[in-house]
Amino acid sequence: MKLTIKVDPDLCIGAASCVTIDPATFLLNEENKVYVLDHGEAPGGQVYERVIEMTEDEKETLILSAQSCPTLAIFIYDEAGEQIYPDM
Amino acid sequence: MAKQFVIIGGGIAGTTAADQIRKIDADASITIIDEEFHPLYSRILLVHYLEEKVPRERVFMKKLEWYTKNNIELMSGVIAKAIDTKNKFVTTSDDRELPYDELLITTGGELRMIEDDRRGIAYFRSMDDADYILKLVNELRAQPKKDWHGLIYGGGFIAIEFIKIFDHYNIPMTIMMRGDGFWSRVLSDHSKKVLADHAKAGGVTIINGVKEFDFIGEGDFEGVVVDGKEIKGQMLGVGIGMQSKAAFVREAGIEMDQGIVANSFLETSTDNVYTAGDIAQYEDVSAGRSMVAGNWMKAVMQGRVVAQTMTGTRTEFELVSSYSTHLMGKEIVFIGDTDRSAADKVVQHVAEAGDSVELFERDGRTVGALFIGSVKERQAITNAIKKSEIYAR
């Protein structure tokens, strides 16, 4: 499945719990904000939003990492554009 | 028969554990005893709410329906009064006796408070505190602008949160610190100077070495008297640290020191009793010593790990945790073990005008680091701590 992952840099405080849980998807930049990776790679540079092809297991890890964010700065959307995290 | 799990404390550590236990054991009975009247919310997001970055409802991380859907009983506004560790039950403030097979204590730290409790004095730990601060800020802003003045007592994380709030509303402020700077017992002189210079450049007045002060008047807060000098203001934000008393834990015979003493599996001295989060004094594998550390990342990860152990898969907790904030845009990051008194050596790795990086070393390896300003080496230093190496300077 394809998921859109977005980090709001205004909310991100660099707590980095997402990096600990899902290092293949998140990494800190020099501004202490988290940016989004595609399976450990950053094609096109350090961006706050990506569409990524994921397995069910990878999705579960991604959701866990988003749930661990203390500022709820990670947003996940499905292929139809529906927000699946945080719950609306 | 379904296993009975009781969790005292409904914050992020306890709720994460409940969530994990439910994922592992669909039939378990899970009860959370929580002194607050709200479902889980993010304490870290409270300041974003006060800074008007997110609406109040966005601070909540769980809705009440989540507890129902997952068959987790949330006892809100209830306090654990006593634990009978022999017969394995918890007595609550509403006189219920809850039997347990496995008990988790995640009550967090308790605020240190000043003696006076007049109206206008605010602390900052809970959602209710945040609502009260907003009320006081709005009352302050209803005054003529020339009179606006916010006061802060303390020099740590909570003091910084009050600075953010006053700064957001353009309220002139004075901060009274007990020591000689921010985190006076943790930071080097250089780090303190970087932060103090930055705060002063942002218009903050700093008074150091304030061990005590008096209040102006007898009624609502009007200001303080420091060394005979009156400083008027409409509110006082207090952030002078946390403590872990948890009298009911001590009375139950569960070993306590700076927090509830646990091994690296988060098991306490008493069978079937576990702890996690800010109240846990646990054997930290990466630091190589017993420590209390209050931060979000650690609370989340301990909640996940302790759930494994409580459900029968004994799992050791290992994490290099970190905490981040900022002072008026100046990044502040603590990683790993930054207790100065427990370090063999603290190296001032970067000492630029606006930047400071300190490395905490023990037994020939880097165990902690703190950053003020530039964080570009954060990942590399975190990796060195994880690998029990000395960070190559």
Q: A41-51, pLDDT tens digit by residue?
A: 999 999 999 99
| Residue A88 reports pLDDT greater than 90 | no
Distance (Å, whole) CA B60 – CA B122: 21
At B222 the pLDDT is 96
At B393 the pLDDT is 65
Distance (Å, whole) CA A34 – CA B21: 29
At B117 the pLDDT is 93
> Cβ of B42 and A71 within 8 Å?
yes
SS (H, E, C) chain A: CEEEEEECCCCCCCCCHHHHHCCCCEEECCCCCEEECECCECCCCCECEEEEECCHHHHHHHHHHHHCCCCCCEEEECCCCCEEECCC
User: First vs last Cα of chain A: how many Å apart?
Assistant: 21
CATH 3.30.390.30 fits B322-386, yes or no: yes
Q: How confident is the model at residue B249 (pLDDT cuts 50, 70, 90)?
A: very high
| Residue B183 reports pLDDT greater than 90 | yes
User: DSSP 3-state assignment of B336?
Assistant: strand
CATH 3.50.50.60 fits B112-238, yes or no: yes
Beta bridge partners of B325: B332
Alpha helices in B180-253 (DSSP H): 189-201, 247-251
List the domain range (segments joined by +) for residue A39: 2-85
Distance (Å, whole) CA A6 – CA A34: 10
Mean pLDDT of the residues in chain A: 94
Residue A21, domain CATH: 3.30.70.20
User: DSSP 3-state assignment of B343?
Assistant: coil
Domain chopping of chain B, boundaries: 4-109+244-310, 112-238, 322-386
Mean pLDDT of the residues in chain B: 96
Instruction: Name the CATH superfamily, with its identifier, for domain B4-109+244-310.
Output: FAD/NAD(P)-binding domain (3.50.50.60)
ipTM of the complex: 0.87
Angle at A56 between CA A51 and CA A60, to 5 degrees: 85
Shortest alpha-carbon distance between residue A32 and chain B (Å): 6
| Residue B244 reports pLDDT greater than 90 | no
Angle at B38 between CA A66 and CA B77, to 5 degrees: 140
Q: How confident is the model at residue A4 (pLDDT cuts 50, 70, 90)?
A: very high
Among the partner-chain residues A28, A70, A71, the one whose CB lies closest to the CB of B378 is A28
- Residues of chain B contacting A, Cβ within 8 Å: 12, 42-45, 48, 53-54, 58, 61, 63, 296-297, 300-301, 319, 322-326, 331, 333, 374-376, 378-379
Q: How many residues does chain B have?
A: 393
B112-238 against B322-386: fold identical: no
Which of A12, A22, A32, A34 has the most B C-beta neighbours within 10 Å, making it the best mutation to test the interface with B?
A32
Shortest alpha-carbon distance between residue B24 and chain A (Å): 15
Residue B269, judged by CB atoms within 10 A of its CB (0-12, 13-18, 19+), counts as: middle
Q: How confident is the model at residue B243 (pLDDT cuts 50, 70, 90)?
A: confident
| Residue A40 reports pLDDT greater than 90 | yes
Which sign does the torsion angle of CA A48, A50, A56, A58 carry? negative
Where b means 16+ CB within 10 Å and e means fewer, A56-85 reads eebbebbbbbbbbbbbbbbbbbeeeeeebb
